[in-house]
Structure 1
Amino acid sequence: MAQHRGDAPPGRAPASIDGRRRVETAARRLLSIDVVLTLLVVTGGVRVLDLASTAPAPATEPATVAHVFALSHLTSFTGTGGTGTSPFGWAQLAGYALVSRAFERNLVPVTAVRETMVVAAVLCAVLLWILARRLGLPFWAATTAVVLMAVSPLAIGLQRVAIVEHLAVTWVLAALVLAATPRERARPWHDVLAALCLLAAVLTAPLALLALPAAGWLLVRRREDSRVAFTAVVFTLGLGIAFGPAGPALRPELPEPGPPGIAAWVALDPVFVVLSMVAIVAGMVLPRTRPLAVSALLIAAVLALPAIPVELPLALLVPLTPLLIAEVAATVAAGRRPAGHRLVPMRHPVSALVLAAVLTLVSVAGWVHGFGRLSSAPSGGVALTQAREWLRDNASGAVVLVDDASWTELAAHGWPTGSLITIGSCAATCATPEWAVLTASGQRDGPRFPAASAFLAGTAKVAVFGSGPDAITVSRVGESADPLGETEESGARTRAGAALASSKQVQCEGRTRDALNAGQVDPRLIATVAALATFRPIRLVDFPSATGEVAAGQPLRRLVVSGNDEAAIADFYTGQRATFEPASVTRVPGGVLVTYPLFPPPGLLTPFSAP
């Protein structure tokens, strides 16, 4: 038969088709890479924006930061004991801090540790994408799963805080990706790595054991019993070693429950929580994601146990439920009409579009509210910084009683760690603290330790920074004031200050006069101003308050005073000795700044003790 000129020679058509398929495959892979990279940028970017936010934050975070700082700086730290342990998790965080020099680049220690959480969230996004594709979800469904995790305020708020469960769920997702490897491509090393990843997850956080059903189910799906048994043996052997001979160095423990509760987290994104619960139940009947739904259901059940902090199971649950939501959406979108029934044209597509539009609007409205709650001012970090600076100016190098958060703040800024005594290690140290710097949680934990409680019983509050749950209290150990004596001193300051304010030799007005009349001025300033006024007329410009001292009820011990001869005023104060010797005398614009040290001795205003 004659061959037509326009026909392709034998063998050319298949080659052309193969070439076209290779081009299409390459284009799809490039598109996948572009989409995944965009999702990673969004995932990391939105978490970096709220990295310094403190609302909400788990009670275990300060202890985690302190342990990581101690490990990365080869020093020791003894916590309160109620925040759980995770030596392997702390080692991972400390390793990243050493490699990336996070503590050197960040002035705030908690921000340095939270960097690792951002990296873990990005890795979770990659693994979630790969897992969705290996389970057979379409391209758009895998993208939807990662987007949900990337932009949900609940996921953002939770994945920015420093808890080891974020590392554990990364190991879990890596194990699930390896377990979901197709049978024709699975190799023995896939199973070994899956077992090791599961072991790393359990050593990082004990709750990761709840992911074992999902990993085992995915392995059984390959229908290779020998592989499943091999993986189980490797995992069990590693677990036995880790919890047996290596138990003291590797065994993790769960922390005691503490604020915030489940309501604080759910308020960030209630729509995501509702969709997640629905998807977990629906996922139990969907073949592709049924293994994940089983483990997700077990993890969700832990939320009902009051003995476990809610952020721990939430951290494991947040990366899993978006995949279940995407699978439910993919199943609805790919629905087929039942056999023998006539489907009304466009009915189901329109219903699906309307439902998707409603869910999107509701989610966006909830996200706007959730993002606002995440952007609260980081007052706790500011208060800690103010307390550290105040202590540096007034008690540099002293032995200080601290809790987890204040230990890290002082140690990170050069305070000798040998001079820092945690409330959990008071009984094991021979040193006696001179000062106490405690957060609100530290003051609550102090009574649990008899040695720390004994020290705290004899303290006088000197300065308070911040307010509410972010308050930082600085106290002097061994300076407990007698309430009756303090009342007498306050009355004497009030009467002496009022007499000074009414003197014709002393000019004062506004806040300065109010401070004198209210008895808020240090008795040494009252006595020296009265003596100075006998020589020349003076003007009291201001009583600059030391940050935090007014909130603690301490008298104002700084004064800006002016007159006709400011040099003589400065000489008068520099010539004072003993009790009335100032800590500093400085010429400033507007007059002379006089500063007295803390703790005026009692009885300086004895003539004014009685009305």
Structure 2
Amino acid sequence: MTSTLSAVTTPQVPAQRQPAPDTGSAGRTAPPSRLRSSRTDLLLCGVLLVAILVVQGWNIADYPTLSDDEGTYLAQAWAVQEGRGLAHYTYWYDHPPLGWIQIALLTWIPSMISPESMTVGSMRATMLVISGISAVLVYVLGRRLSLPRWAAGLGMVFFGLSPLSVVLQREIFLDNLAVMWTLVAFTLAASPSRHLWHHFGAGIAAATAVLTKETMLVILPALLVTMWRHSHKDTRKFAVTGAITACTLIGFSYPLFALLKGELLPGGGHVSLWDGVKYQMTRPGSGFILDQGSGSWGVFQSWLYYDRVLPLGGLAGALLLLATWRWSVTARALAGPALTVAILAALALRPNGYLPAMYVIQALPFLALVLAGGTASVAHAVLRRWRDPDERRWQTGGRYTLAVVLAISAGAYVVPRWYDGARTAVTVDANAPYQAASKWLSTEVADPEDTRVLVDDAMWLDLVHAGYRPGLGVIWFYKADLDPAVTKTMPGGWRDIDYVVASPTVRRDAVDLPNVKAAIQHSKPVAVFGTGEDRIEIRQIQTTGTAAGGAR
């Protein structure tokens, strides 16, 4: 495929002074061919995609441990499917609802065929669809940013097969959906065709990403850089203005939704978007990421536990590309992804910011691209020194020998580390305690319909399918203290509860929840599954006498 703007040649202009072809802002003389028209690209991308889906899909229901956030998003998707509104409880403006609306669409057919399969473990399989699309987009974006075929494939490997990616991309997180839409936006912005509708589409995709997970807003400047560099100079201002307008208009649909519902500003008897924003801006920080002992340090170490190559190598690659921007064609082409990594790293380094475990998901594709791009830059710089026009045969052999040595050395460093992390992901069953606790509550409780139990959201849908009343019989434990619609049905507080499932999440957060804390203190364990900090206790409330001891 050739550029839409070909060189203009006139008979009056000598050949040596003809205007140079429009190279675009990325500095390339011809855009790469489309993926669908290149058999080699299709074959390489297809083989890598199969490998990624196999590794990420193997043991997906059993590892990692089910999280409360996963259960929340899936329960909200279930509520949308069931026509119960935007959430399984009173919706408040924590995240925009578009994310779990998409999850509802993904899980709609499976839930129709087998309603009881609408649980976190089994529905993780839907994340393979998102992960597969994102992996292909990483390859396509790499090629559109002028990476050679091998480097684009390497970026796809980094993104899809890093143990950190394998673990986090399996989970039902809004971040994974938002990343997919962000990659769509970058891919359209870097389109070699440079049609105006590509840039408008990039703006729409960017707005969709923000409405899926609002934190994607911070990387929009990097998207604009990519769009500016890959648009034609004659239509650049119009294209960028159109993309910004499309993104803004769609993005404002969320506050408009709140305004139409009378929930934009705080008031009596309703939630508000302003309160949601205020909560996000004032929530307690988790400390400085480099301060040992802080919550952020613990999150950072959990990332490095699975993989040091992608986060640290990708950050180094971004710094290398930004430092060589003026004289490196690859650095200029990858300015958008490198800037994305820099922005996300700067936010993570805030002295007292809040750093959730899934934060790194937003950076994964861009870490992969800049690491691959940095590798390509280094390889190109090294191989240039082997040029010798008088000894071409020796030069070619030496270059290939050096490339093989470098590849083997890198593989010897990376493969053993990735193998350990991937082996854990495909062999360990971390969710057996959850499955056993769910089975116990489904079979050992005589009358689930008239039983009230506090659980985390990872188990909420399991018990709904087991016959417990959604919202009133099986209660997401936060709501027992924080949702007036639930607390008014509990005039006796903890005494109106029959059981509390003390999972690690419940035990950790009960400190700040009076009803949940009291329920644990006035209960005794009747079944315990697992050991240590990961154990799950099913505790029966004791309304008379003294409980056998609170969960510790």
TM-score in terms of structure 2 length: 0.74
Match of 1:359 in 2: 410
Q: 1:166 to 1:244 in 2, by over 3 A?
A: same
Give me the whole-angstrom Cα distance separating, in 2, the residues matched to 1:287 and 1:328. 12
Q: Offset of 1:463 from its aligned partner?
A: 2.1
Deviation per CA, 1:68-97, whole angstroms, max 9, x where unpaired? 33333344534999x953421111111111
Pairwise CA distance, 1:340: 13
- Deviation larger for 458-467 or 40-49: 458-467
Give the aligned residue type for 1:174.
V
Aligned to 1:451: 515
**In structure 1, C-alpha distance between the alignment counterparts of 2:349 and 2:447, rounded to whole Å:** 47
Equivalent position SS for 1:460: strand
CA RMSD of aligned residues (A): 3.6
Partner residue in 1 for 2:164: 154
Match of 2:429 in 1: 378
Q: Does 1:196 align with 2:204?
A: yes
- The equivalent residue for 1:272 is 310
Match of 1:63 in 2: 72
User: Which residue is 2:218 aligned to?
Assistant: 210
Quote the residue 1:144 is aligned against.
154
For the residue of structure 1 that corresponds to 2:478, the secondary structure is coil
Equivalent in the alignment of 1:318: 364
User: CA separation of 1:85/1:456 partners in 2, compared to 1, >3 Å: closer, same or farther?
Assistant: farther
CA distance in 2 between partners of 1:287 and 1:413 (Å): 56
* Alpha-carbon distance, 1:343 to partner: 11
Alignment partner of 1:435 out of 489, 499, 524: 499
1:59: Cα distance to partner? Answer: 5.4
Q: CA deviation at 1:146?
A: 1.0
- 1:308 partner letter: Y
Query: Structure 1: which amino acid aligns with 2:213?
Result: A
Whether the aligned pair in 1 keeps the contact of 2:315 and 2:341 (CA below 8 Å) is no
Give the drift of 1:25. 10
Output one character per residue of 1:122-174: Cα deviation in whole Å (capped at 9) or x when no partner.
00111111111111112222112112222211111111112110000100000
Match of 1:402 among 444, 455, 460: 455
Shift of 1:357: 1.9
SS in 1 for 2:365: coil
Whole-angstrom CA distance in 1 between matches of 2:130 and 2:317: 24
310, 330, 333: which one pairs with 2:376? 330
Q: Does 1:421 align with 2:475?
A: yes
Unaligned segments of structure 2, at least 5 residues: 1-32, 265-271, 287-294, 326-330, 491-495
Name the SS of the counterpart of 2:537 in structure 1. Answer: strand
2:60 aligns with 51
Quick one: structure 1 residues 467 and 396, their matched pair in 2 at CA, closer, same or farther if it must change by over 3 Å?
farther
**Quick check: 2:66–2:120 contact (8 Å CA) kept in 1?**
no
CA contact (8 A) 1:276 1:321 kept: yes
Counterpart secondary structure, 1:463: strand
Runs of 4+ displaced beyond 6 Å: 24-28, 249-253, 255-260, 338-345
Aligned to 1:177: 187
CA contact 2:434–2:459 (8 Å) conserved in 1: no
What secondary structure is seen at the aligned counterpart in 1 of 2:467?
coil
CA distance in 1, matches of 2:97, 2:220: 21
Deviations 1:536-575 (A, max 9, x none): xxxxxxxxxxxxxxx99xxxxxxxxxxxxxxxxxxxxxxx
Aligned residue identity for 1:369:
D
Report the 3-state secondary structure (helix = DSSP H, G, I; strand = E; otherwise coil) of the residue aligned with 1:131: helix
Paired position in structure 1 for 2:341: 296
Deviations 1:345-382 (A, max 9, x none): 75766555433321111101111221233245334344
2:532 corresponds to: 468
Cα separation, partners in 2 of 1:302 and 1:196, compared to 1, 3 Å: same
Q: What's the offset of the Cα at 1:467?
A: 2.1
| Structure 1 CA distance for aligned equivalents of residues 79 and 532 of structure 2 | 28
Q: SS in structure 2 opposite 1:101? A: helix
- Percent identity, aligned pairs only, is 24
Determine which structure has greater relative contact order: mean sequence separation of CA pairs < 8 Å that are 6+ residues apart, divided by chain length.
Answer: 2
2:49 counterpart letter in structure 1? L
Bigger mean CA offset, 206-215 vs 247-256? 247-256
Q: Identify if the C-alpha distance between structure 1 residues 134 and 349 changes in structure 2 by more than 3 Å, giving closer, same or farther.
A: same
- In the alignment, the residues of structure 2 paired with residue 343 and residue 117 of structure 1 have an alpha-carbon distance, to the nearest angstrom, of 54
CA distance in 2, matches of 1:84, 1:381: 31
Tell me how far apart the structure 2 counterparts of residues 424 and 381 of structure 1 sit (CA, whole Å). 24
- The question of 1:77 aligning with 2:88 is answered yes
CA distance in 2, matches of 1:67, 1:446: 22
Where do residues 507-546 of structure 1 align in structure 2 (5 Å cutoff)?
A: none
Instruction: Please say if residues 109 and 408 of structure 1, whose CA atoms lie closer than 8 Å, have aligned partners that are also in contact.
Output: yes
Which letter does structure 1 place at the counterpart of 2:125?
A: E
Residue type of the alignment partner of 2:527 = A
The alpha-carbon deviation at position 392 of structure 1 amounts to 3.3
Matches within 5 A, 1:82-121: 85-101=95-111, 104=114, 107=117, 109-121=119-131
TM-score by length of 1: 0.67
The C-alpha deviation readout for 1:481-535, integer Å capped at 9, x for no partner, is 437xx89xxxxxxxxxxxxxxxxxxxxxxxxxxxxxxxxxxxxxxxxxxxxxxxx
Closer/same/farther in 2, CA of residues 470 and 68 from structure 1, 3 Å limit:
farther
CA–CA separation in structure 2 for the residues paired with 1:399 and 1:44: 40
C-alpha separation in 1, matches of 2:385 and 2:52: 40
Deviation at 1:449, TM superposition (A): 2.7
Separation (CA, whole Å) in 2 of partners of 1:56 and 1:303: 24
Local SS of the residue matching 2:421: helix
Match of 1:412 among 465, 469, 483: 465
